Homo-oligomer: A and B are copies of this chain.
Amino acid sequence: MTTEIRIDGERLWQTLMRSAEIGPGKAGGLRRLVGTDEDKEIRDQFTEWCTEAGLTMSIDQLGNMFARRAGTEDDLPPVTIGSHLDTQYAGGRFDGILGVLAGLEVVRTLNDHAIETRYPIEVINWTNEEGARFSPSMGPSGAFAGVFEADFIANRADDDGFLQGEELERIGYRGPEPVGGRQLDSYFELHIEQGPQLDAERIPLGIVTGGYKSYGMHVDVRGRTAHAGPTPMNERKDALVGASRVVVAVNDIGWKYHNTNGKTTCTRIVAWPNKPGIVSEWAQFSVDCRHPDRDMAAQMMAEIEQAIVEAADKANVEMEIGTRWEFDGANFAPELIDLMRKTAKDIGVPYKEMLSQAGHDAYHIAKVCPATLIFSPCKDGITHNEEEDAELELTEPAVNVLLQAVLARANR
């Protein structure tokens, strides 16, 4: 019975640990940024693994990689399993990587048992999910789903002015295929939870039924340079003070909504000239606001915008909200969520239904095909940190649910 096959947990772990050798960070974690030599190395390694598993590779013009296992009715659109192999600056060994390599393990397991599927299956590595080097995050999966123009994403520059498309070209992964525009049957993504709930309760599977409402924006602050020595306090227009007032206020708003799981963060601040002895004339910061309840998220954003007005007034500077973005993961496919519930019950994996708090490629892909997102536990919920960790025993059950759900979908 194909419903009795299981993945090879040791093989999956060895594959994850080999990945963890590529782009080592400073404390056992990873720094594997898009378009770097480390990115090339993991892509080459992934290609080698996929080719050994009999998969056919194709790469689109944003470096998204599709490793295809033919179906017995190969003209049908593919059932896909994806996530990302890139990491944060100080990232972990599992965030995203688990989802791609679990897809590989699913295929390897089908190979072990010589199981054919009616629908083709594709394992996908999306470029730059993290947005660590190039902003926005999730750009290439977004372009695949028609959220962004592919050229816009290719032309994003890093802090040193290098363009994402050119850096992909440099490492040989700006492929020939157009971005998007083809039909997928369905999309499955397994990701570590990036929160502490599953680990705390030792539950090996989270079935995501929706997402937190998430808002983001960049804010520019304009003041005036002045000598930090003689310039009286009342003649200053200190952009850094204005930005810092907002950082503090945004943090306070997060605490205010902490009891209902709200979070607000200013993640990034830059100022100019930002030198000793001089008051900065310009600053920019990024705001991130999330809440499970849409109305409360909107309320938090309103409070943040009010805090921006007050901080600008207090610091005698001007502030302007620039780029804004929002996502909510509200459109995962009920049929696939049901398939996940049923599969977990069938093979006896305890699960918990939950909302996703972070953005994932699945949010975008859900716009162009039925998509589902599941979670496995990560130690203490620590992520975007080199101490991010997971254990095989708590990871394997979710991968088996993925295997069986994909198999059911691909043979329906």
Cα(A133)–Cα(B265), bound, Å: 31
The 8 Å CB contact of A384, one of B131, B225, B268, B357, is B225
A73: interface (CB < 8 Å): no
Within 8 A of B (CB), among A254-280: 254-255, 258, 261, 263, 265-280
For A283, the closest partner residue in chain B by CB is: B269
Q: Which residues of B contact A130 (CB under 8 A)?
A: 277
Q: Which residues of B contact A229 (CB under 8 A)?
A: 194, 212, 214, 263, 288, 290, 357-359
Given contacts A244-B244, A276-B288, contact A255 B281 (CB under 8 A): no
Q: Which residues of B contact A280 (CB under 8 A)?
A: 267
Cα(A285)–Cα(B403), bound, Å: 50
Cα(A271)–Cα(B247), bound, Å: 13
Q: Which residues of B contact A202 (CB under 8 A)?
A: none
Q: Which residues of B contact A358 (CB under 8 A)?
A: 227, 229-230
Q: Which residues of B contact A6 (CB under 8 A)?
A: none
The 8 Å CB contact of A233, one of B228, B263, B278, is B263
Cα(A386)–Cα(B254), bound, Å: 39
How many residues belonging to A are interface residues under a CB distance threshold of 8 Å?
72
A80: interface (CB < 8 Å): no
Cα(A277)–Cα(B268), bound, Å: 9
User: B88 near A277 (CB under 8 angstroms)?
Assistant: yes
Flag A61-95 by CB within 8 Å of B: 1 or 0 each.
00000000000000000000000000011100000
The 8 Å CB contact of A88, one of B214, B244, B278, is B278
User: B357 near A230 (CB under 8 angstroms)?
Assistant: yes
Cα(A104)–Cα(B163), bound, Å: 49
Within 8 A of B (CB), among A210-242: 212, 214, 216, 224-235, 238, 240-241
Report how many copies the assembly holds.
2
User: B267 near A231 (CB under 8 angstroms)?
Assistant: no
Given contacts A258-B233, A275-B132, A384-B278, contact A265 B216 (CB under 8 A): no
User: A227 near B194 (CB under 8 angstroms)?
Assistant: yes
A15: interface (CB < 8 Å): no
A286: interface (CB < 8 Å): yes
A321: interface (CB < 8 Å): no
User: B381 near A231 (CB under 8 angstroms)?
Assistant: yes
Q: Which residues of B contact A386 (CB under 8 A)?
A: 225
Q: Which 6 A-B residue pairings sit nearest by Cβ, starting from the closest?
A: A244-B247, A230-B357, A89-B273, A195-B230, A229-B358, A244-B244
- Some 23 contacts from A to B, beta carbons below 8 A apart, are A88-B273, A90-B281, A132-B277, A132-B278, A135-B276, A195-B231, A196-B235, A226-B384, A227-B358, A228-B265, A229-B357, A230-B381, A231-B383, A233-B254, A233-B255, A234-B258, A244-B244, A244-B245, A245-B248, A251-B315, A268-B274, A270-B274, A276-B286
B-contacting residues of A (Cβ < 8 Å)?
Answer: 88-90, 130-132, 135-137, 193-196, 212, 214, 216, 224-235, 238, 240-241, 243-245, 247-248, 251, 254-255, 258, 261, 263, 265-281, 286, 288, 290, 315, 357-359, 381-386
In the complex, besides A89-B275, A227-B383, A268-B271, 11 extra interface pairs with C-beta distance below 8 angstroms are A132-B273, A132-B275, A214-B229, A225-B386, A229-B357, A240-B269, A241-B248, A241-B266, A244-B244, A248-B248, A270-B274
